[in-house]
Amino acid sequence: MISRHTDSWFAIRVKSNRERVTADALRGKGFEVCLPAYREHRLGSRGRQAAEVPLFAGYLFSCFDIHNRLPILTVPGIVHIVGFGKAPQPVDANEMASVFALIQSGLRVTPHPYLPVGHRVQLRTGPLRGVEGIVLAHKGEDRFVVSLTLLQRSIAVDVHRQWIAEAAAPVVVNA
């Protein structure tokens, strides 16, 4: 496995529907990869079937030294490393930590329309203790949304009101 002491997490744009194959190829080269997914029920030829779908369609995340990116760029299926202009940008460490917390929580996580930076809250208890995001009302439930600024994409999970910090007044938006 490749050393992670100075490495950062980067978002990588991949060819359409090639997220899983590309992630496996990167792992095969010894890179740490994060491909967050959720279960979606689709209507197929055999009726309703569950399928695992990437939370960020067309993207995966990998941890590597940006000064040694050629091994990443030569993997089949990779389009480019996300950044500004030709300069790759690492994903904000706090946002990446929040994504990890959500996917490891065991709660049902789904894609959500991107929310621009606004008032944030921190969850004080529950399986997502310490994670920062935005709370909004959705179908009578409290939904906690974590956004990745670099990709301008968000993911959401339903939370209990008592998990939210009392000191921080959450922004409640009807979705």
- pLDDT tens, position by position, 75-132: 999 999 999 988 999 999 999 999 999 999 999 999 988 766 556 788 888 899 889 8
Instruction: Kindly tell me if the per-residue pLDDT of 5 is higher than 60.
Output: no
Model pTM? Answer: 0.76
- The DSSP code for 119 is -
**Residue 93 has what pLDDT?**
93
**Residue 3 has what pLDDT?**
40
Task: State the Cα–Cα distance between residues 111 and 57, nearest whole angstrom.
Answer: 9
Domain layout of the chain by residue ranges: 8-88, 93-163
- Using only the alpha carbons of the chain, give its radius of gyration: 17
| Number of Cβ within a 10 Å radius of residue 89 | 16
User: What pairs with residue 81 in β-bridges?
Assistant: 12
Instruction: Kindly tell me if the per-residue pLDDT of 2 is higher than 80.
Output: no
According to CATH, the topology of domain 8-88 is Alpha-Beta Plaits (3.30.70)
Looking at 18-27, 66-75, 152-161, which range is the least confident one?
152-161
**Residue 117 has what pLDDT?**
54
Q: Which residues contact 96 (CB under 8 A, 6 or more apart)?
A: 9, 34, 61, 148
Q: What is the pLDDT of residues 132-148, one digit of tens each?
A: 888 887 666 778 899 89
Q: What is the pLDDT of residues 30-80, one digit of tens each?
A: 999 999 999 888 777 778 888 899 999 999 999 999 999 999 999 999 999
Tell me the pLDDT of the chain averaged across its residues. Answer: 85
